[in-house]
Amino acid sequence: MSNARAPRRAFLALALSLFLFALAMSLLALPSTIQAQTVPEKPVVAHVAFDEKADLQWITDHGYDVWAVEQKERYAVVALSPAEWRTLAAAGYTLSIDEAHTARMQRSGPDAFYGGYLNAEELYAFLDETVTTHPTITQLVDYGDSWEKVTPGGNAGYDLQVLRITNRAISGTVPAPGLAYRPDITITKPLFFLMSNIHSREITTPEMGRRFIALLTEGYGSDPDVTWLVDNHEIWIVLTANPDGYKIVENSGNGLLYHRKNTNITNGIGCTFPSSSSNHYGVDLNRNASFRWGGTGSSDKPCDATYHGPSAASEPEEQALESLMSGLFNDQRGPLTDDMAPLDTSGLMISLHSYSDLVLWPWGWTDRRNANFAQLAQLGSKFSSYNGYTAQQSIALYPTTGTTDDWAYGTLGIASYTFEIGPGDWADPCSDFFPPYECQDMFWELNGPALLYAAKSARAPYQLPSGPDTLSVTVSAPFVMSGSSMVITAQISDTSNGNQPVAEARYWLDTPEWNAGTAIPMSATDGTFDSPTEQVQATLNTSGLQLGRHTSFIQGRDTSGHWGPVTAAFLEVSETNETLLLPLLRH
CA dihedral (361, 362, 364, 369) in degrees, to 10, reads: -110
> How many Å is the maximal CA-CA distance in the chain?
114
Give the pLDDT band of residue 289 (cuts 50, 70, 90).
very high
Nearest to 108 by CA among 274, 253, 273: 253
Whether residue 100 sits in one domain with residue 131 = no
CATH code for the domain of 544? 2.60.40.650
CATH code for the domain of 79? 3.30.70
Q: Is 122 within the bounds of a domain?
A: yes
CATH code for the domain of 226? 3.40.630.10
Whether residue 156 sits in one domain with residue 75 = no
pLDDT, tens digit (0-9, with 9 covering 90-100), for 82-133: 888 888 998 899 999 887 667 766 654 444 455 789 999 999 999 999 999 9
Q: Is the pLDDT of residue 232 over 80?
A: yes
Sheet holding 138-145, edge to edge: 138-145, 159-165, 234-238, 191-196, 348-353, 415-420, 358-361, 390-393
> Of 47, 77, 105, which marks where a domain is finished?
105
Whether residue 306 sits in one domain with residue 250 = yes
Within 8 A by CB and 6+ apart from 302, the residues are 267, 268, 269, 270, 271, 281
Whether residue 185 sits in one domain with residue 304 = yes
- Asked whether 428 and 437 are in contact (CB, 8 A), the reply is no
Whether residue 297 sits in one domain with residue 196 = yes
Q: Is 322 within the bounds of a domain?
A: yes
Nearest to 186 by CA among 234, 137, 239, 231: 234
Could you give the number of structural domains in the chain?
3
Q: Is the pLDDT of residue 4 over 50?
A: no
Q: Is the pLDDT of residue 24 over 50?
A: no
Stronger pLDDT, 54 or 229, i.e. the higher one: 229
Q: What is the mean pLDDT of residues 30-37?
A: 42
Q: For position 114, what pLDDT does the model report?
A: 55
Q: For position 42, what pLDDT does the model report?
A: 80
DSSP-derived secondary structure for 269-334? TT--SS-BTTB--S--GGG--SSSTTSTT-BS-TTSTTB--SSTT-SHHHHHHHHHHHHHS---S-
Give the pLDDT band of residue 492 (cuts 50, 70, 90).
very high
Whether residue 472 sits in one domain with residue 451 = no
The rounded distance, in Å, linking the Cα atoms of 280 and 265 is: 9
Output 3-12 pairs: Cβ under 8 A, ≥24 positions apart.
none
The rounded distance, in Å, linking the Cα atoms of 511 and 518 is: 7
Nearest to 277 by CA among 90, 43, 493, 82: 43
The DSSP 8-state label assigned to residue 11 in this structure reads H
Q: Is the pLDDT of residue 223 over 80?
A: yes
pLDDT, tens digit (0-9, with 9 covering 90-100), for 494-543: 998 889 999 999 999 999 999 999 999 999 999 999 999 999 999 999 99
> Of 49, 80, 105, which marks where a domain is finished?
105
Helix (H, G, I), strand (E, B) or coil at 133: helix
The whole domain housing 295 covers: 111-260+287-357+400-464
Q: For position 275, what pLDDT does the model report?
A: 72
Q: Is the pLDDT of residue 584 over 90?
A: no
Q: What is the mean pLDDT of residues 178-207?
A: 96
Whether residue 124 sits in one domain with residue 58 = no
Q: Which residues pair with 390 in a beta bridge?
A: 358
Q: Is 362 within the bounds of a domain?
A: no
> Of 464, 493, 510, which marks where a domain is finished?
464
Whether residue 448 sits in one domain with residue 514 = no
Within 8 A by CB and 6+ apart from 42, the residues are 82, 106
Whether residue 319 sits in one domain with residue 455 = yes
Q: Is 540 within the bounds of a domain?
A: yes
Q: Is 4 within the bounds of a domain?
A: no
The DSSP 8-state label assigned to residue 384 in this structure reads H
Which DSSP helix (H) or strand (E) runs through 49? strand 44-49
Q: Is the pLDDT of residue 557 over 50?
A: yes
Whether residue 81 sits in one domain with residue 155 = no
Q: Is 138 within the bounds of a domain?
A: yes
Whether residue 154 sits in one domain with residue 54 = no
Whether residue 164 sits in one domain with residue 79 = no
The rounded distance, in Å, linking the Cα atoms of 351 and 186 is: 24
HEC states along 543-584? CCCCCEEEEEEEEEEECCCCECCCEEEEEEEECCCHHHHHHH
Q: Is 458 within the bounds of a domain?
A: yes
The rounded distance, in Å, linking the Cα atoms of 389 and 399 is: 19
Q: Is 149 within the bounds of a domain?
A: yes
